[in-house]
Amino acid sequence: MNKTNLKPLAWGLLGAGVAVMGTAGALDLPSWLHHSGTATATAPGAGGTSAAIAAAATGQQVAPTPVTPPLPALPPGTAPNYRAIVQEFGPSVVHVAVAGTHKQTPEEVQEQGGISPDDPLFRFFRGMPGAPQFQQRGGQPAEQPFKGLGSGFIIGSDGLILTNAHVVKEAKDVVVKLQDRREYVAKVLGVDAATDIAVLKIDAKNLPVVRFGQPSKLMVGDYVLAIGAPYGLDQTATSGIISAKGRSLPSESGENFVPFLQTDAAVNPGNSGGPLFDAAGNVIGINSQIYSRTGGFQGVSFAIPIDVALAIKDQIVATGHATHARLGVTIQPLTQDLAESFGLERPDGALVSTVAPNSGAAKAGLRSGDVITKVNGEPILESGQLSSRVGLARPGEKVTLEVWRDKKLETIVATLGASTDKLDVASSGTDATSGEKLGLALRPLNRDEKGEVGASGLVVESADGAAAKAGVEQGDVVLAVNGKPVASVDEVKAILAAKPKRVALLIWRDGARIFFPVNLG
């Protein structure tokens, strides 16, 4: 999946142009959203000077719009009563409007057609409605005002609201509009970029709230319903099914803490932060991202499981921020070839490629080449599951790891550190000698090279045959074979003397450590 095609769903207007905040592309405005000469995100019925705002400012109460008594929601596993869900919980879904300023990066300016003052076209476009963004002289991007739209839902009758962190990112003003058109200025209690969760608070009482379900009980194929404000269209409901569970996607922080729910319910920019309901009307997720090459819905959307969101909410409410644990390892997916190289029948688990010195993993004795198969007794079927289970734990917590090492299982107990901890970066012959059946010409690292790599190993002078087919290249450094560190060609030959059908090479390349499975059969 191309990372650039993952789109956060907050809809933002930046300066005199239109852009989806945090995405690689721009969206065209529907004609009824254009306002001559200005950038505005005001949709029909969403005026900023309504009587509801005036009443809220003076403390007057506005009578809520009567709601038809709900029909009983049906349990999961049967055809859902979407009408009942919308009638009962629609009033708990809110529209979130934000405004602020954003200092664009040079990459954003270029992506959005930015023009430098030194460009001859600058004087022709400057000041024109809908013109591209402009850089300040000297190549520095200008700070641009923006307005954005998103969704959220009420989880506390006293005004506690959940939404996405990217909805309120850089916002100076946040206004929440209820289904009955009352509007409130919201306070941002805290945000967590790693999980894309934000908690808002408005000064209101006796508000309708959602109820929560259990994402762990969902099955692929179960019905779901999304409610939000796509493109500023309040209270829009769309339906679909759970398409997959446990998706690992990149986040703004670079961590993969969230096991996303994948659905085919139609969500679009503006749906961000809105609830995803199950067939019984329970919230089981928060709509967060879509996979799109156009900026709009293309059949694949992702939601944050509600249990993840509530755990983060509890931390934010208590302390104003959220903390995440860190084991201190770099992991990579376990392929079938790698699994067989390590003596595993199935490619289940997370393969440890690097252990950071002074981390909880290092102190517990984890090694490069270990395959973590369980955490606290729960199986790890793919590497992303390890990231989410560790990242959502609390720093200082002890975890019991089941590890496959040297073709047998071992149990290791590790104490997790904090994701903010500063960890050390894992960081003389000259004749080239053949690596036998690998198809590699190898030589030991010299002193300077050892300093750069931070370990002993063998430089690949040339690659051919099986190793080349596996992706090993000239200039790579072989650090280990089948989990055993190698510093001489003789050590490699000793491993190959057993005539293994497959070997796993731990390769150092451009500062990263990666396992390559090599088929020798």
Instruction: Pick out the residues of the known binding site for substrate.
Output: 166, 196, 270-272
Radius of gyration of the chain (CA): 27
Q: Rounded to an integer, what distance in angstroms lies between the CA atom of residue 400 and that of residue 373?
A: 11
Q: Rounded to an integer, what distance in angstroms lies between the CA atom of residue 509 and that of residue 30?
A: 48
Give the CA distances from residue 273 to residues 52, 56, 156, 263, 380, in Å, rounded to whole numbers and listed in that order: 23, 24, 16, 15, 29
Burial 42-77 (b: 16+ CB within 10 A, else e): bbeebeeebebbeebeeeeebeeeeeeebeebbebe
Q: Phi, psi at residue 401, to the nearest 5°?
A: -110, 135
State the binding site. 166, 196, 270-272
Residues 459 and 475 sit within 8 Å (Cβ to Cβ) = yes
Those residues with Cβ within 8 angstroms of residue 349's Cβ, 6 or more apart along the chain or in another chain: 334, 339, 371, 372, 373, 380, 381, 383, 404
Give the CA distances from residue 84 to residues 93, 157, 211, 279, 372, in Å, rounded to whole numbers and listed in that order: 15, 21, 14, 10, 45
Residues 236 and 149 sit within 8 Å (Cβ to Cβ) = no
Q: Which residues are catalytic?
A: 166, 196, 272
DSSP 194: T
Residue with tokens 């072989």: 478
Q: Rounded to an integer, what distance in angstroms lies between the CA atom of residue 176 and that of residue 165?
A: 15
Q: Rounded to an integer, what distance in angstroms lies between the CA atom of residue 486 and that of residue 58?
A: 75
Give Cα 168 distance to the centre of its chain: 16
The CB-side HSE value for 109 (13 A sphere, CA atoms) comes to 19
Residues 372 and 405 sit within 8 Å (Cβ to Cβ) = no
How many degrees, rounded to 5, is the angle at CA 277 between CA 275 and CA 281? 125
**Dihedral (C-alpha) 37, 40, 42, 43: value to the nearest 10 degrees?**
70
